[in-house]
Amino acid sequence: MSTATRTPAAARRSGADLLAVAIKVKRYQPDRSDKPYWQEFQLQVEPKDRLVDALNQIKWEQDGTLTFRRSCLHGVCGSDAMRVNGRNRLACKLLMKDVGTRITIEPMLGFPVIRDLVVDMDPFFAKYEKVKPFLINDEPAPAAERLQSAEERARYDDTTKCILCGACTGSCPSVWANRDWVGPASIVNAHRFIFDSRDRAAGERLRILGDRNGVWRCRTIFNCTEACPRGIHVTDAIEEVKRAIMYGSTETE
Amino acid sequence: MATTTEPSRPAAPRVVAQYGASARPVGGTAFETFSWYFFRWSGVVLLFLVIIHLILMHVVTDVSMTTYTFVQHRYQNPFWRVYDLVLLTLALLHGLNGLRIIADDYIHTRGWRVFAQSVLGLTVVTFWLMGTLTIVMFPTK
């Protein structure tokens, strides 16, 4: 079955407008060596192939040991965030024609590396859970639903888009320096509930984020905003949380 | 939670107590928030204090002229003593805060972090006492 799905791709790659690319990957195979090493792969790709297609091509046709996460392949699951030419990107949202012919791929910084491009996301999710990323409201539920106006919904719309790929957190120099720092992704997800009119635990989250490893460790470097594959204005969201702590209010303007 | 909602039941009144104007951090200490805020305004104030200090002491007055008698003359006006004390205090605390945060970021062992911050704190207190003593006690005669 698997060959049936791969053969057309190989046949498709026989056209004249193929790109010859060199992909340099930072490998880490703990059962072979304690140290990471670089390996370069030469391959032919279609201009409209995605980077993840190129990685699959390497894995399926050149080196089956190349390890990386991918799942939905459509920029929704957030599995294949990696450092491409020094910037965190989703491999499934990058077209080969846009990424150049010499590509350097590393696992995201700021995370422990498990194998090749696979990083340990456990600390990331532990920090995510720390900000209580769920609706908290102990008031008796109304008969139908907790109503919210379009304006109230728009207030936190941007931060609902997060797919928890970790690209922002892995691009943040404050995280590289201090892995205990809560990081941009957690603040984005806290923002999503702090500014939700139905939620009642803004004060609790603002206390968590006002601590030593909370929002004040953000130095507004903007790497997170640049890295976000969903186009979330991450630094803006962090600044809004800072302002909410500072002025004791989640109201803007 | 277990009670089933009856169709006739009125909607719960909207409570905005913890949302909107009064969503303050609940509990914890406000030290980090204060430190961040202090960092900002002290930086702005220092910018002016330092530029004025530099112009007066190094541009308008040649460095070779800033002698003991010059300072004596200058300190006859208590304004400059207050000015220098504010400059000294803010510069030391602003610098301390920056180094404290760097220590927070890069020293991950609790013991070493407390040690580094104690050394920092003691250094700042020592420098502040020395400077304050000079500013306050400098004889004008």
Q: Residue A43 forms beta bridges with which residues?
A: A21
User: What is the rounded average pLDDT of the residues B41-62?
Assistant: 94
Residues of A in contact with B15 (CB under 8 A): 139, 200
Domain with B105 in it = 20-137
Number of domains in chain B: 1
Note the pTM of the prediction, 2 decimals.
0.84
Contact A202 B18 (CB under 8 A): yes
Q: Count other C-beta atoms under 10 Å from residue A211's C-beta.
A: 17
Look at residue B5 and tell me if it is in a domain. Answer: no
A50 contact B CB<8A = no
A70 contact B CB<8A = no
Look at residue B111 and tell me if it is in a domain. Answer: yes
User: The domain that contains B127 carries what CATH number?
Assistant: 1.20.1300.10
Give the per-residue pLDDT at B15. Answer: 42
Closest partner residue to B19 (CB to CB) among A144, A178, A197 is A197
Closest partner residue to A211 (CB to CB) among B22, B28, B37 is B28
**pLDDT greater than 60 at residue B115:** yes
Contact B19 A202 (CB under 8 A): yes
Domain ranges of chain A: 2-119, 122-247
Look at residue B8 and tell me if it is in a domain. Answer: no
Q: Report the amino acid identity of residue A52.
A: V
Closest partner residue to B23 (CB to CB) among A139, A174, A206 is A206
What does the alpha-carbon distance between residue B53 and residue B65 come to, in Å, rounded to a whole number? 15
Confidence of residue B18 (pLDDT cuts 50, 70, 90): very low
3-class SS at B8?
coil
What does each of the 253 residues of chain A score in pLDDT, given as a tens digit? 444 445 455 555 666 689 999 999 999 999 999 999 999 999 999 999 999 999 999 999 999 999 999 999 999 999 999 999 999 999 999 999 999 999 999 999 999 999 999 999 999 999 999 999 999 998 898 999 889 999 999 999 999 999 999 999 999 999 999 989 999 999 999 999 999 999 999 999 999 999 889 999 999 999 999 999 999 999 999 999 999 998 887 765 4
Token code pair at residue A206: 């603002």
- Closest residue in B to A248 (Cα) is B24
What does the alpha-carbon distance between residue A226 and residue A167 come to, in Å, rounded to a whole number? 9
What does the alpha-carbon distance between residue A66 and residue A43 come to, in Å, rounded to a whole number? 15
Look at residue B61 and tell me if it is in a domain. Answer: yes
A251 contact B CB<8A = yes
Closest partner residue to A216 (CB to CB) among B11, B22, B33 is B33
Level-2 CATH architecture, domain A122-247: Orthogonal Bundle (1.10)
Token code pair at residue B114: 């407390």
Look at residue B48 and tell me if it is in a domain. Answer: yes
**pLDDT greater than 80 at residue B139:** yes
3-class SS at A181?
coil
B111 contact A CB<8A = no
Signed CA dihedral, A233, A238, A242, A245: sign only: positive
Give the per-residue pLDDT at B62. Answer: 87
**pLDDT greater than 50 at residue B14:** no
Give the per-residue pLDDT at A17. Answer: 85
B/e letters for B100-131, b = 16+ CB within 10 Å, e = fewer, are bbebbbebeeeeebeebbeebeeebeeebeeb
Give the per-residue pLDDT at A11. Answer: 55
CATH number for the domain formed by residue range(s) A2-119: 3.10.20.30
B114 contact A CB<8A = no
- Strands, DSSP E only, in chain A? 19-27, 37-45, 81-84, 87-90, 102-106, 113-115, 118-119
What does the alpha-carbon distance between residue B138 and residue B75 come to, in Å, rounded to a whole number? 8
Contact B5 A143 (CB under 8 A): yes
ipTM of the modeled complex: 0.73
